Amino acid sequence: MADISWSDRFAKVLIDRKVAQTDVALRFADIFKDKVEFCEGDPKDIQRGVLSGEQFTQSKKQIHLTEFAGSFFKKCPGFHKGLACCNYYVLNLGFQCDMDCSYCYLQSFINSNYLTIYTNIDKALDELRSFSDSMKDSPVRVGTGEVIDSLSLDPLTLYSRKLIEFFNDYPKWKLEFKTKSALVDQFLDCEHAGNVIVSWSINPQYIIEREEHGTASFTERIQAALKCKDKGYLVSFHIDPMIWHPEWKNNYAVLVDEICKNFTPSDIPVLSVGALRFQPQQKNIMRERFAMDSLVTQAETFVGKDGKLRYDFELRKEMFDFVMTRFKSHDPAWKIFMCMETPETWNGTLGSSPHRQSDLKEFFKPLKKPDSDIRYPISDI
């Protein structure tokens, strides 16, 4: 990521007056000073509905701090009929991302021209406590990186520290931060229960430079992961989305080899792979924003059973098999699963569903139904 001061990264910071005295709002007011404005409820210039490409780009430069009135905690979009689900839950503490990946699924449904940060994290923690009444001893996995990067703004919010402290009381649960940044220093001194996973969505540097704009480089992500490992945190990598290009085999081989050079299977509970996929309505805005220069807008895709555009089955199978085989050649103990894939892809790639894979079945074994009502996602990655 370019070394740009926080105050230069955003054009405007709008703070809802009712949250102006929260710790988060006070930090933003101190850092951004003359860029701060106050509002009552929604900003007057907020736009609702489908955004144009230009409006979507603008939304990454304007921050709105407010309370969230809905449910923070919900099931991952992988809880979808026809997909193999790994029992993942998400905790959404904001909406929109300050980085700009060409393939980002947020382009298909963001309907506000502001990057929103929710200040009432204590309400989110209350929802987790309610969920824990019946699930405290279950192997629950909770991630914070569904609709906002977990860590790219965390030096400002410091939400990681609150979450790590909270999860100390739930040692059988796993908390996952998922990021494309390298911003980890703000929580490295926290005491933790060994149940925090710091993970990176990662691609070869060639793809990062072309498609993952404003993100940390491949090397920066690896170095940040090593910092976390040295402090006893679990780390993980999500090689997702894999993007086809003429040198894909060589570039993904380098990626795998570099991970294996720096980490062992004992450092990483599980890895995941996934292939390019997006909603059909996303294609137009991607072309508007990135023209045909992007490997994503150039991709030949087909409608899958879940309605998303994907590479055809044979190409996905080839790409997954290549990466998995490369990892296993370094150490057969690597655990790797496919994200948001159909049972047919599992059977075609590995010969059986994840529920029959000895090293993965614990991740995919259905959990008992919680007593509290947990919402299914409104979004579909």
Tell me if 230 is assigned to some domain. Answer: yes
Residue 243: the pLDDT is 99
Residue 306: the pLDDT is 83
Residue 95: the pLDDT is 95
More confident residue, 337 or 191: 191
Residue 46: the pLDDT is 76
Task: Give φ, ψ of 147 to 5 degrees.
Answer: -115, 10
- Over the chain, what HEC string results? CCCCCHHHHCCEEEEEHHHCCCHHHHHHHHHHHHHEEEECCCCCCCCCCCCCHHHHHHHCCEEEEECCCCCCEEECCCCCCCCCCCCEEEECCEECCCCEECCCHHHHCCCCCCEEEECCHHHHHHHHHHHHHHHCCCCCEEECCCCCCCCCCHHHHCHHHHHHHHHCCCCCCEEEEEECCCCCHHHCCCCCCCCEEEEEECCCHHHHHHHEECCCCHHHHHHHHHHHHHCCCEEEEEEEEECCCCCHHHHHHHHHHHHHHHCCCCCCCCEEEEECEECCCHHHHHHHHHCCCCHHHHCCCEECCCCCEECCHHHHHHHHHHHHHHHHHHCCCCCEEECCCCHHHHHHHHCCCHHHCCCCHHHHCCCCCCCCCCECCCCCC
More confident residue, 304 or 99: 99
Average pLDDT over residues 78-95: 72
Q: How confident is residue 202, by pLDDT bands cut at 50, 70 and 90?
A: very high
Listed residue (279, 319, 321, 282) closest to 303, CA to CA = 279
Considering the chain, what percentage of its residues have pLDDT values greater than 90? 73
Tell me if 370 is assigned to some domain. Answer: no
Average pLDDT over residues 317-324: 96
Residue 378: the pLDDT is 42
Tell me if 315 is assigned to some domain. Answer: yes
Listed residue (66, 8, 17) closest to 37, CA to CA = 17
Q: What is the pLDDT of residues 94-114, one digit of tens each?
A: 999 999 999 999 998 888 899
Q: What is the pLDDT of residues 259-280, one digit of tens each?
A: 999 999 999 999 999 999 999 9
Tell me if 215 is assigned to some domain. Answer: yes
Q: Is the dihedral of CA 21, 24, 25, 27 positive or negative?
A: positive
Rounded Cα gap, residues 123 and 127, in angstroms: 6
Indicate whether 286 pLDDT > 90: yes
Indicate whether 249 pLDDT > 60: yes
Amino acid at 204: P
Q: Global pTM?
A: 0.89
Tell me if 13 is assigned to some domain. Answer: no
Q: How confident is residue 5, by pLDDT bands cut at 50, 70 and 90?
A: confident
Q: Is the dihedral of CA 287, 289, 291, 296 positive or negative?
A: negative
Range of the domain at 171: 71-95+121-364
Q: How confident is residue 2, by pLDDT bands cut at 50, 70 and 90?
A: very low
Tell me if 39 is assigned to some domain. Answer: no
Mean pLDDT estimate for the chain: 89
Residue 229: the pLDDT is 98
More confident residue, 187 or 76: 187
Contact between 135 and 376 under an 8 Å Cβ cutoff? The reply is no
Contact between 170 and 20 under an 8 Å Cβ cutoff? The reply is no
Residue 18: the pLDDT is 97
DSSP per residue, 110-138: ---SSEEEE--HHHHHHHHHHHHHHHTTS
Rounded Cα gap, residues 346 and 328, in angstroms: 17
Indicate whether 85 pLDDT > 80: no
Instruction: Give the number of other Cβ atoms within 10 Å of residue 87's Cβ.
Output: 18
Task: List the single range of 83-97, 213-227, 230-244 with lowest mean pLDDT.
Answer: 83-97
Helices and strands (H, E) in the chain, number of each type: 14, 18
Q: What is the pLDDT of residues 327-357, one digit of tens each?
A: 999 999 999 988 877 666 666 665 555 555 5
Q: Is 220 exposed, middle or buried (0-12, 13-18, 19+ CB in 10 A)?
A: middle
Residue 363: the pLDDT is 53
And the tokens for 263? 């980490």
The interaxial angle of helices 248-262 and 313-330, nearest 10 deg, is 30
CATH label of the domain that carries residue 211? 3.80.30.30
Average pLDDT over residues 314-330: 97
Tell me if 183 is assigned to some domain. Answer: yes
And the tokens for 173? 């649960």
Residue 381: the pLDDT is 39
Rounded Cα gap, residues 68 and 118, in angstroms: 6
Indicate whether 376 pLDDT > 50: no
Tell me how far CA of residue 217 lies from CA of 93, 169, 226, 236, in angstroms. 25, 34, 14, 16
Number of domains in the chain: 1
Considering the chain, what percentage of its residues have pLDDT values greater than 70? 85
Q: What is the pLDDT of residues 153-162, one digit of tens each?
A: 999 999 999 9
Q: What is the pLDDT of residues 11-56, one digit of tens each?
A: 999 999 999 999 999 999 999 999 999 999 888 777 777 789 999 9
